[in-house]
């Protein structure tokens, strides 16, 4: 499974959503991600004037108020927004490199508090989204 897809579909469970309900969100989020991968105008596609956070809100809708780990939700959300921002910077040269370096540093400090979320995606891995490693496309090279 694509590590980025895995992050978003498994995040509700990692944040403390009841296992049965989390499996429903996993199915829904997986379908959302797959549709987005098949269509250039998918539900998470970039739209003019829309922020990354606004674009990604659909991936967090419905489950955040069902989770028990409120700090985990905040961290997971921040990392979930950082991932596409890094893709934009690394792959397309979009975004503010300094702002993202500050966000990376802050997330790195928080990461040890959230081992269930870090098992899905580390900040270091999220920082490489969109990059070629030694000229080779890796599992975090493409959004889909």
Residues 91-129: pLDDT tens digits? 889 999 999 999 999 999 999 999 999 999 999 999 998
119 — phi, psi (to 5°)?
A: -65, -25
86 — phi, psi (to 5°)?
A: -70, -35
DSSP state of 142: S
pLDDT of res. 122: 97
Contact indicator for 78, 103 with CB cutoff of 8 Å:
yes
What DSSP assignment string belongs to 74-100?
A: HHHHHHHHHHHHHHHHHHH--S-HHHH
pLDDT of res. 41: 81
| Nearest C-alpha neighbor of 78 from the set 110, 47, 48, 113 | 110
Maximal C-alpha separation, the chain:
42
| Nearest C-alpha neighbor of 78 from the set 113, 46, 30, 38 | 113
Residues 28-81: pLDDT tens digits? 999 988 888 888 887 777 888 889 899 889 899 999 999 999 999 999 999 999
DSSP state of 66: G
Q: What is the pTM of this model?
A: 0.90
The packing angle between helices 52-60 and 19-38, to 10°, is: 130
């Amino acid at each position: 499974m694509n590590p980025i897809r895995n992050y978003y579909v498994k995040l509700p469970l990692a944040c403390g959503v009841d296992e049965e309900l989390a499996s429903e969100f996993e199915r829904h989020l997986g379908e959302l991600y797959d549709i987005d991968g098949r269509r250039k105008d998918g539900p998470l596609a970039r739209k003019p004037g829309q922020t990354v956070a606004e674009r990604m809100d659909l991936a967090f809708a419905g489950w955040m108020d069902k989770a028990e780990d409120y700090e985990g939700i905040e961290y997971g959300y921040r990392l979930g927004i950082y991932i596409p921002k890094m893709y934009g910077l690394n792959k397309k040269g979009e975004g503010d490199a300094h702002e993202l370096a500050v966000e990376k540093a802050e997330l790195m400090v928080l990461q040890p508090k959230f081992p269930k979320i870090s098992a899905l995606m580390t900040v270091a891995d999220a920082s490489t989204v969109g990059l070629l490693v030694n000229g080779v496309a890796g599992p975090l090279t493409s959004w889909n």
